[in-house]
């Protein structure tokens, strides 16, 4: 599996999720088997580049390559500038966001709203590729199947994007109108894959190793991308890669392993955000991690009242130490949290 000059270890990727896939979370997913990870979307608005939020999203300290940064915006020139800005700060792959369905993104005609203006979408692709190609930086694109059922134009945009120099394309099997509701459809992804020569990645409703194999079969895609199912369950990447390689299910991780991963993640999370912001933003990660464990919901309620890193760490250690079954974590059948427009932050 390759993106431009970069050879990836496998075909199971982490989806970019604003407010979720920050550097500590990406690093955790990679340690647990993800072959590729794309950053949260970074705004193309120059006046926001020095903001604390954007500076954290552009922080790649200690992150293994290739470093992929997703940019979002509606102006071709500004998107090209944003690409160059992020390359100067370590980006080795630039990803264009045409897939985010969040209202506060689409209301500004960014994200998946760009699919309603094919000419502008192509201008942005051409401008970003024009800046990246001379620097040897491949450009990827993430999009949906279209704006709504009557405006499914993924195939048209995909062909134009490939002709403009896109190195890899990811398709989420829903329209913007669907958001995260209903079920993903894979016929459009299959049609896009059949029409293109570049690698195509399938995204949407991939929650188990079996589903990953089924989606690869249905779409003939080159890779799968996991989003919500990785929230609180980052070991899903090693489960899928093992299953695709061997056909055997990997044993669930020990609760002691989950405890170790979570505590390690939290220490890195606090280091990036500082204590005040880090404690509050860590609550969702903790809640996702414990929701399927005995007493998880009650513990989550308590966790949401704690306001120091020391208190969170102590409570987590006590909770895991008190679990009766220390041998294995029961596998989850459901996806991650039911992400919606309010949960997915805009850049």
Report the C-alpha gap between 166 and 161 in whole angstroms. 6
Q: What is the DSSP-derived secondary structure letter of residue 194?
A: H
Given a contact cutoff of 8 angstroms between Cβ atoms, the answer to whether 29 and 237 are in contact is yes
Given a contact cutoff of 8 angstroms between Cβ atoms, the answer to whether 202 and 186 are in contact is yes
Report the C-alpha gap between 323 and 332 in whole angstroms. 17
Nearest to 258 by CA among 307, 335, 327, 324: 327
Q: Which three-class secondary structure state does DSSP give residue 205?
A: coil
**132 labelled catalytic:** no
Ranges of beta strands (E only) in the chain are 2-3, 6-7, 12-14, 36-43, 68-72, 93-98, 139-146, 168-175, 200-203, 223-226
**Residue 156: both structure tokens together:** 């048209």
User: Secondary structure of the chain: what % helix, strand, coil (to 5)?
Assistant: 45, 15, 40
Q: What is the DSSP-derived secondary structure letter of residue 100?
A: -
Nearest to 91 by CA among 119, 72, 71: 71
Cα dist from 339 to 88, 225, 231, 266, 299, whole Å: 32, 16, 10, 21, 21
Q: At what angle do helices 187-195 and 209-219 cross, to 10 degrees?
A: 50
The one catalytic residue in 29, 100, 106, 132 is 100
Nearest to 237 by CA among 323, 336, 167, 327: 336
Given a contact cutoff of 8 angstroms between Cβ atoms, the answer to whether 159 and 170 are in contact is no
Query: Which residues form the catalytic set?
Result: 100
């Amino acid at each position: 599996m390759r993106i431009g000059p970069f050879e990836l270890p496998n075909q199971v990727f982490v989806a970019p999720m604003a407010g979720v896939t920050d550097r500590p979370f990406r690093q955790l997913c990679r340690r647990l088997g993800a072959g590729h990870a794309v950053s949260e979307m970074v705004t193309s608005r120059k006046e926001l580049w020095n903001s604390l939020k954007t500076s954290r999203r552009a922080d790649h300290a200690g992150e293994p390559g290739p470093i992929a940064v997703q940019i979002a915006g509606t102006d071709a020139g500004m998107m090209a500038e944003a690409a160059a800005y992020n390359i100067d700060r370590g980006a080795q792959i630039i990803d264009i966001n045409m897939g985010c369905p969040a209202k506060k993104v689409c209301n500004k005609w960014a994200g998946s709203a760009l699919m309603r203006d094919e000419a502008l979408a192509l201008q942005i692709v051409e401008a970003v590729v024009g800046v990246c190609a001379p620097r040897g930086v491949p450009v990827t694109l993430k999009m949906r199947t279209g704006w709504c059922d009557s405006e499914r134009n993924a195939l048209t945009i995909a062909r134009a994007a490939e002709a403009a120099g896109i190195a890899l394309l990811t398709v989420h099997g829903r329209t913007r109108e669907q958001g995260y509701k209903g079920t993903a459809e894979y016929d459009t992804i299959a049609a896009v894959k059949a029409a293109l020569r570049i690698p195509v990645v399938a995204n949407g409703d991939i929650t188990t190793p079996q589903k990953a194999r089924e989606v690869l079969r249905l779409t003939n895609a080159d890779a799968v991308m996991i989003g919500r199912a990785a929230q609180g369950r980052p070991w899903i990447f090693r489960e899928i890669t093992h299953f695709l390689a061997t056909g055997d299910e990997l044993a669930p991780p020990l609760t002691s392993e989950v405890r170790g991963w979570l505590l390690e993640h939290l220490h890195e999370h606090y280091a990036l955000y500082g204590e005040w912001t880090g404690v509050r933003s860590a609550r969702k990660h903790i809640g996702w991690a414990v929701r399927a464990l005995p007493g998880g919901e009650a513990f989550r309620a308590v966790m949401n009242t704690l306001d120091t890193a020391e208190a969170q760490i102590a409570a987590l250690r006590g909770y895991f130490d008190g679990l009766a079954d220390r041998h294995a974590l029961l596998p989850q059948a459901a996806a991650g949290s039911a992400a919606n427009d309010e949960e997915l932050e805009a850049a």
